Amino acid sequence: MNGSTKMSSFGTLAAAAAILSVAISLFACGEKEKQGAEVFRPLVQEVEVVVVRPVPRETTAETLGTVRARTTAAVAPQVMGRLTGVAVSEGSVVAAGALLATIDDTTVRAQLSSAEGAVAEAEAAGEDVDRAISQAEAGKALAEKTYERFRKLLDGKVVTQQEFDEVELRRTVAVKDLERAQQKRAQMIAKIAQARGQADAAKAMLAWTRVIAPFAGIIVEKRADPGSMAVPGVPLFVLEDPRRHRIETFVSETYLPLLRKGTPVQVVLDADPGNPFSAVVTEIVPAIDPASRTFTVKADLPAGRARSGQSGKVRFAAGKGTVLAVPKRAITRAGGSDGVFTVGARDNVARLSMITLGAEFDDRVEVLSGIEDGARVALSPIDKLSDGARVEIRR
């Protein structure tokens, strides 16, 4: 081996030694940092904990629901025509009978005028018939008297049989004339009634050209503007009574035996989850939907507590069972959600566990998810705990 080769080998060994030294230094620094992190983990003393166990209670079922107005009407026209005006917009508050829209009434007014003319004509013809009946009655009465007189004269052989037969014929003609006049009067009475019916129908159609509110409420939907064609049966507006609402929910068929009219429930609106309130089932549709295997339950809500379209939850008693529950004072809020501090059994380190809460009872709250049976949950001091803090449990 010559001198240059020795020098090269020596340089390689020196470089390797330097790299190894740097690696050892980095490893040592990492270990020191880890040790330092463990050393500086905060310590919270006198922490009160409770072991979470299932507790017996009435179990609660929860379903999703939608708030709807108890009284809603899709206001549709009863006659066809072009809209000449729309008096309301979405959000308008209207009274019962208030004008919502007007429909072109030119054709209907012409029909009404024609019908009223037919009524006048029929009534005038009826007066002529009445006069004819009066004349026929007078003629019949005269013919009857003449007949009686001639019959006596015939018995006394004062008049001939031919003269008596002529008088009897005039009496028969007078009776027939009266019968025809009476028949014509019956026909005219029917004609007058028909004409008046047509006039009444035209008046009704004229009234229908004014679309009015069937009850007091709020216009929540407007589907037409002036110039649009109104078609009978096709809604122009949706009107609802804002004073009375109910929540409608679809419940699993397994709960059908538990729910009936008058059953108390608890309602939690998604817009105000912190303020649940009580309601009562007012209607049950017992028919089961074969696709979802659910039935519809409706519960009336207190006045002013909800608006149409809001979503919420309906909770009701679902029988006896066991649930996991924690004391209310163990719950903390973090990032808009509920959580508890659980304490590890081996390392006594507090960890923030996000949970889903159920119904409240006594001084506890049901925990639907987030922790398991046997978890150690911190009760105090909650304000001093943080995720990862070391805990010294109160003896």
Q: Is the dihedral of CA 133, 135, 138, 141 positive or negative?
A: negative
Give the C-alpha separation, 65 to 297, whole Å: 9
Distances (CA, A) of 174 to 89, 134, 136: 71, 12, 7
Which of 251, 243, 309, 299 lies closest to 276, judged by CA? 299
- The per-residue pLDDT for 40 is 58
377: exposed, middle or buried (C-beta count within 10 Å: 0-12, 13-18, 19+)? buried
Q: How far is CA 69 from the centre of its chain?
A: 5
Output the six-digit token pair for 111. 């029909």
- The per-residue pLDDT for 39 is 47
Cβ atoms within 10 Å, residue 391:
23
Beta bridge partners of 82: 229
- Per DSSP, 349 falls in state B
Buried b (16+ CB within 10 A) or exposed e, 184-206: bbeebeebbeebbebbeebeebb
Q: What three-state secondary structure class fits 391?
A: strand
- The per-residue pLDDT for 193 is 83
Give the C-alpha separation, 273 to 337, whole Å: 12
| Block residue for tokens 């029988």 | 319
What would you measure as the largest C-alpha separation in the chain, in angstroms? Answer: 191
Find out whether 51 and 342 touch, Cβ atoms under 8 Å.
no
Q: Can you give the three-state secondary structure of 154-204, one letter per residue?
A: HHCCCCCHHHHHHHHHHHHHHHHHHHHHHHHHHHHHHHHHHHHHHHHHHHH
Q: What three-state secondary structure class fits 75?
A: strand
Question: Taking phi first (over 0 means left), then psi (-120 to 50 degrees means alpha), and beta for anything else, what does residue 210 get?
Answer: beta
Find out whether 107 and 230 touch, Cβ atoms under 8 Å.
no
**Phi, psi for residue 72 in degrees, rounded to 5:** -135, 140
Output the six-digit token pair for 339. 């959580």
Q: How far is CA 23 from the centre of its chain?
A: 71
pLDDT truncated to tens, each residue of the chain (395 aa)? 444 443 344 344 344 444 445 444 444 444 444 444 454 568 888 889 899 998 888 778 899 999 999 999 999 999 999 999 999 999 999 999 999 999 998 888 888 888 888 888 877 877 877 887 888 888 888 888 888 888 888 788 888 888 888 888 888 888 888 888 788 888 878 888 888 888 888 888 888 999 999 999 999 999 999 999 999 999 999 999 988 899 999 999 999 998 999 999 999 999 988 889 999 999 999 899 999 999 999 999 988 888 888 999 999 988 887 888 999 989 998 888 899 999 988 888 888 999 998 878 788 888 988 899 989 999 888 888 888 888 888 87
Q: How many residues does this entry show for the chain?
A: 395
For the CA atoms of the chain, what is the radius of gyration?
Answer: 48
**Phi, psi for residue 102 in degrees, rounded to 5:** -125, 145
Distances (CA, A) of 283 to 52, 306, 347: 39, 18, 55
Find out whether 222 and 85 touch, Cβ atoms under 8 Å.
no
Q: What is the pTM of this model?
A: 0.52
Beta bridge partners of 295: 251
Amino acid identity, residue 83?
L
Output the six-digit token pair for 229. 């064609």
- The per-residue pLDDT for 219 is 94
